[in-house]
Amino acid sequence: MSEFTVFDIKFPRAAQKRVIVNTDAKNECDDQFAIVQAILTPSFELHGIIPAHFGDKKSKTSLKDSHDETMLLLKLMNLEGQVRVEDGAVGAMPNETTPMDSPGARLIIEEAMKDDSRPLYVAFYGPLTDMASALLLEPQIENRNVIVVWIGGGKWPIGGREYNLSNDIHAANVVMKSRLTVWQVPRNTYRTMGVTYAEMIEKVYPHGALGKYLVEQVIAFNSRYNPDFEFRSLGDSPSIGIIMDPDVGTWSWQPAPLFDEQMHYLHPGLYRPIRVYDDVNTRFVHEDLWAKLAQFHRRGSRH
């Protein structure tokens, strides 16, 4: 087997994409795959991971749960202390004018305000609390080259209940009303990212303690909540694919919506357009991760 891996390809710093990951890591069992893929993508300059809350219905300690899960993944990858981790807000914004200050929001501000000509991609696998809070804490972010990649919101143009949105509707409205560039992957799109147990056992499980954990935690989650499932939608992974290649799926510009309390879209037509993805190339996203996991395990490191 070749010793050559993607980690042997050197991307000049000027060509690397500046990325921050914001993740409600212990909400389900798919964030873990997208976290690992971000870490293992050498064309990314990963500035940090922000563990995020996921409300209080599943857990009264959701932020801590996300933090602990993030640290576990870094431990399994032997990357403890090598990736910056800054916790986000402990809960949702109480209204559209009160930020939830946190080290995670401050990390976004710090990176957004740097003198760097490259865009800053902030990938949100859960609620938009920390992005909205960063905006309210430092309004100049609106004038910076920041691209918000959000896994969330219901199907266009009507919407309806969607989990990530439900955990902070106020924050979503703050972001939509802003001038920030937003790329949205709505529920009907991210739910198409299915992968079966058989494929995960074949492509993920053999690759050390990390691969074993990724698969076993999916099976454990499904056995508790979806015992009839033989698959899992890795719904957060499109965020990585579209940062790598913005045209990995089909998309259209839509005037930024707002959300009512039932999470339906409101279309006032007052705000700048956002990019809404209608589909994402599942093969591109999943097989990229399978290959990176195999090469990371074979090499034993990213370096």
The CATH number linked to 277 is 3.90.245.10
What are 217's two structure tokens? 């935690």
Q: Would you say residue 64 lies in a domain? A: yes
Which distant-in-sequence residues (6+ apart) come within 8 Å of 300 by Cβ? none
Report the interhelical angle of 208-225 vs 31-39 (nearest 10°): 160
Q: Would you say residue 104 lies in a domain? A: yes
Q: Would you say residue 66 lies in a domain? A: yes
Q: Would you say residue 298 lies in a domain? A: no
Number of independent structural domains in the chain: 1
Q: Would you say residue 295 lies in a domain? A: no
Residue 225 pLDDT: 95
Q: Look at the chain and count its residues.
A: 303
CB 179 within 8 A of CB 188: no
CB 276 within 8 A of CB 186: yes
Q: Would you say residue 78 lies in a domain? A: yes
Domain limits for position 41: 16-195+231-289
Q: Would you say residue 62 lies in a domain? A: yes
Query: Which is it for strands 146-151 and 44-51: parallel, antiparallel or unpaired?
Result: unpaired
pTM of the full structure = 0.98
Q: Quickly count: other Cβ atoms within 10 Å of residue 283's Cβ.
A: 9
Each residue's pLDDT, cut to its tens digit, for the chain (303 residues) gives 679 999 999 999 999 999 999 999 999 999 999 999 999 999 999 999 999 999 999 999 999 999 999 999 999 999 999 999 999 999 999 999 999 999 999 999 999 999 999 999 999 999 999 999 999 999 999 999 999 999 999 999 999 999 999 999 999 999 999 999 999 999 999 999 999 999 999 999 999 999 999 999 999 999 999 999 999 999 999 999 999 999 999 999 999 999 999 999 999 999 999 999 999 999 999 999 999 999 999 999 888
Q: Would you say residue 100 lies in a domain? A: yes
Residue 1 pLDDT: 60
